[in-house]
Structure 1
């Protein structure tokens, strides 16, 4: 059974899910363009849940595929809104990655709407780890192959973005655009890379 708080979060994030071959254009704008308008509502409504998730207090949520998805959102997406442009935005990434991997092994992801699967896999795309990046590209490749025709253009874009993330990790072993936020020294090669268009995923 899906916990009430998990259901509330999923309703906020996805709204009434359309059929598997379409997206809600309003929410897609928040997801893929500028989601800053969601920062305060997420902080107000779900800030305490984010903290509980990071402390491991919601580890019963993955009893169902959508419960796991809600926990992944609390560990991966929501902190990026609440703690935008700070190191805290990425503090629970490893927990989210573990949940994403476990969900794939269990087949939980296959029970989800295509756009829900996108958010299930995103923690792997955010990983500064070559093995997890390979898992990300594999997951997005499978998603693209299984996405209904009407969403093929969008899922191709999701796969392309995953491949671009993997390429950066293969080249540098980390995301150079996070160096300043995480207090890391940027190398000369990374500085040259950051000067090029499309180098930052923030």
Structure 2
């Protein structure tokens, strides 16, 4: 049976910061093979004990927020446990358990807020990164601001529409055709440099 320590050892030590955001079929398959059954158990509510300790809750958040994005890339299933991760992240932040994890791994407490299609969560993510990641938060902050900008503009992430079976409206189509999220990031970088 996979333990919280197994999740943290794999994601924080074995994969590490250089691999966290890499797109790799090999990594996706490795996560699917190693953690799918545990993710499914957690989705069904069988890992509640992971929510009672600062390190275990971090493992739970990674399992429910990060791993599905790898296991189910380009599928609606990639977002199916976001609400579980978001609830756990809010609990951990309220208890200040996030502050017991060193940067840059601390960012995983804030990513469920960044992945939320709720503007209040987006604003909170930015506050958390600014306040609680002073050493390594610059890149995370850039992406938090980009996510917030998309939610401000559209109220949702248009690049999820196809995977979630949502209709794409004309302004969203124009945004997707113009480069979508990558364009938003570049525009923010340009503003920051000006």
Q: TM above 0.5, one fold?
A: yes
Shift of 1:140: 1.1
1:22 counterpart residue number: none
Specify every segment of 5 or more residues in structure 1 that has no aligned partner in the other structure, as ranges. 17-25
1:64 counterpart residue number: 53
**Mean Cα deviation higher: 31-40 or 131-140:** 31-40
1:78 partnered with 2:76:
no
1:169 partnered with 2:158:
no
**Mean Cα deviation higher: 192-201 or 167-176:** 192-201
2:166 to 184, 187, 194: 184
Compared CA separation, residues 175 and 114, structure 1 to 2 (3 A): same
1:193 counterpart residue number: 175
Compared CA separation, residues 43 and 4, structure 1 to 2 (3 A): closer
Correspondence list, 1:14-163, <5 A: 14-15=12-13, 27-145=16-134, 147=135, 151=136, 155-163=137-145
TM-score, length of structure 2 as denominator length: 0.88
TM-score, length of structure 1 as denominator length: 0.85
Specify every segment of 5 or more residues in structure 2 that has no aligned partner in the other structure, as ranges. 185-194
Q: Aligned partners of 1:91, 1:130: CA distance in 2, in Å?
A: 19
Q: Aligned partners of 2:123, 2:42: CA distance in 1, in Å?
A: 26
Compared CA separation, residues 184 and 4, structure 1 to 2 (3 A): closer
Compared CA separation, residues 32 and 82, structure 1 to 2 (3 A): closer
Q: Report runs of 4+ in structure 1 exceeding 3 Å deviation.
A: none
Work out whether residues 106 and 133 of structure 2, in 8 Å CA contact, stay in contact via their aligned partners in 1: no
Q: Aligned partners of 1:141, 1:41: CA distance in 2, in Å?
A: 33
Secondary structure class of the residue paired with 2:104: helix
1:6 partnered with 2:22:
no
1:161-184 alpha-carbon deviations (Å, 9 max, x no partner): 001101110111000000011111
Q: Aligned partners of 1:157, 1:51: CA distance in 2, in Å?
A: 31
Work out whether residues 69 and 116 of structure 1, in 8 Å CA contact, stay in contact via their aligned partners in 2: no
